[in-house]
Amino acid sequence: MGNLQGVQINKIDGGLGRENATNDSVVLLVGAVPTSTAQITHGKVVKLIQTKDAEDLGINESFDANNKVLAHYHISEVFRLAPNATVYFLPIAPNTQIANATAQVISTIKANSEIKGVGYFGFANTLTSVAGLVDNLQITLVNELKKDGILIDFVLLEGGKATGIDNLNDYPNLREKNAENISVIIGQDAHIAGLATEYAGYAAIGSALGMLCVRQVSENIGSTNILNKPDEKKGRALYSLTEPGLKRFVTASLSTGQKLSDLTNEQIKSLIDKGYIFVGSYVGASGMYFSGSATCFPKNSDYAYIENNRVWNKAARLIREALAPYLKGKVKKDPSTGYIKSTTIAHWERVCMKASIERMEAENDISGGDIYISPKQAPTEDTPLKIAVKVVADDIVHSFGVDLSLTNRL
């Protein structure tokens, strides 16, 4: 039955202020593995949301044992430590060099731009060769993706064996490199490394990915506790790598062959100063933990640690998304000055503040921030409108210095 047009009700969305989720725990795991006994293909990525997804494809403990690889191990470690993570697994042909896999990695990330970080395992690299490729990988992978607006928070590499290096003091200094988004892992589970001679130079890439995925972007991978534990571990006072029932990280060693227990305090400090990430323990805190979050970049930089890059990238993504609806939009001007109208400035600042600073504060990623837009601008096709954003990043306490004394009275 037809009706005369009267009251017309339009359904409007957005009034509840709900926001899209910022999934910070989506990673790409790149492994140099054979594929003949599993339902996977070299160069073709598969998406996993649990270890069982990999096992359904034939990537199980038998796959690892028969092929002398650690694909199932690394995948299971991610989900053991970060049950809510999402892992894209990209198999690469064995004996492929990391640099030769870059094109496949780039195409995979472009097709799945929600990926925030990358971890490589199973590639036949030594400590020297890995140290020699980090700068180039920063340029050809991370910086190349940035040209398309895709920001990669971190890239984790296995340090491998110290072939040709006789002394730990001669390990390459990664802090002298220019790869702010690349980190080298040399920590390993001593039990896993001892299962086969082929595993001797492995590093705990899956464990590192898991420990990053379970944390806020502002948390250090080596923290003894985390803000949001998985449900089954909420009662624990600490959040370590160790799981005795699974024989995971009961003891730790270096991928270069040394047992951690054999290292002196000076040698451990040297490894930290040179930017290596390994696994160790603290007096007073049970279990094993990553030593820190160093990147292959000078220590005095704002981006010398993984969490710094994750915070910056998250803020950049949120600001870009907030400003997208205003591209090619009109800019109202103050007729008396010819500059941008104050109400327009206030609106843009409010949009950016709400989408980035306030949201990241609410999600416990930062301590605060500020946004400023100068009205004395005349944006054109060749002149972008400048916005100054300052984010107050949280500090990380790496150690405590306690002055303890006895006294007769206070």
Tokens of 69: 């690889």
CA angle, residues 134, 139, 355, in degrees to nearest 5? 110
pLDDT at 399: 86
Q: Which segments in the chain show pLDDT lower than 70? A: 1-22
Buried-exposed string 62-77: b where 16+ CB fall within 10 A, e elsewhere: ebbeebebbbbbbbbb
pLDDT at 306: 97
Contact 124, 95 (CB under 8 A): yes
**How far is residue 102's CA from residue 128's CA, in Å, rounded to a whole number?**
19
Pairing of the two strands 182-185 and 276-277: parallel
Query: CB-based contacts of 368: which residues, under 8 Å, 6+ apart?
Result: 357, 361, 391, 392
pLDDT at 398: 87
Query: CB-based contacts of 360: which residues, under 8 Å, 6+ apart?
Result: 311, 314, 315, 318, 366, 369, 391
Local structure of residue 131 (DSSP, 8 states): H
Pairing of the two strands 26-32 and 46-48: unpaired
pLDDT at 21: 59
pLDDT digits (tens, 9 = 90+) for 137-182: 999 999 999 999 999 999 999 999 998 888 899 999 999 999 999 9
pLDDT at 9: 63
**How far is residue 214's CA from residue 389's CA, in Å, rounded to a whole number?**
27
Q: Report the number of secondary-structure helices (H) and strands (E) in the chain.
A: 12, 13
Contact 391, 360 (CB under 8 A): yes
Tokens of 272: 């930290």
Alpha helix stretches (DSSP H) within 252-372: 265-273, 306-323, 342-352, 359-362
Buried-exposed string 256-283: b where 16+ CB fall within 10 A, e elsewhere: bebebeebeeebbebbbebbbbbbbbee
pLDDT digits (tens, 9 = 90+) for 260-294: 889 999 999 999 999 999 999 999 999 999 999 99
pLDDT digits (tens, 9 = 90+) for 19-57: 555 688 999 999 999 998 899 999 999 999 999 999 999
Angle between helix 71-81 and 205-213 (nearest 10): 20
Instruction: Report the candidate in 121, 62, 60, 52 with the shortest Cα–Cα distance to residue 92.
Output: 121
**How far is residue 37's CA from residue 58's CA, in Å, rounded to a whole number?**
7
pLDDT at 3: 67
Q: What's the mean per-residue pLDDT of the chain? A: 93
pLDDT at 367: 95
338 alpha carbon, distance to own chain's centre:
45
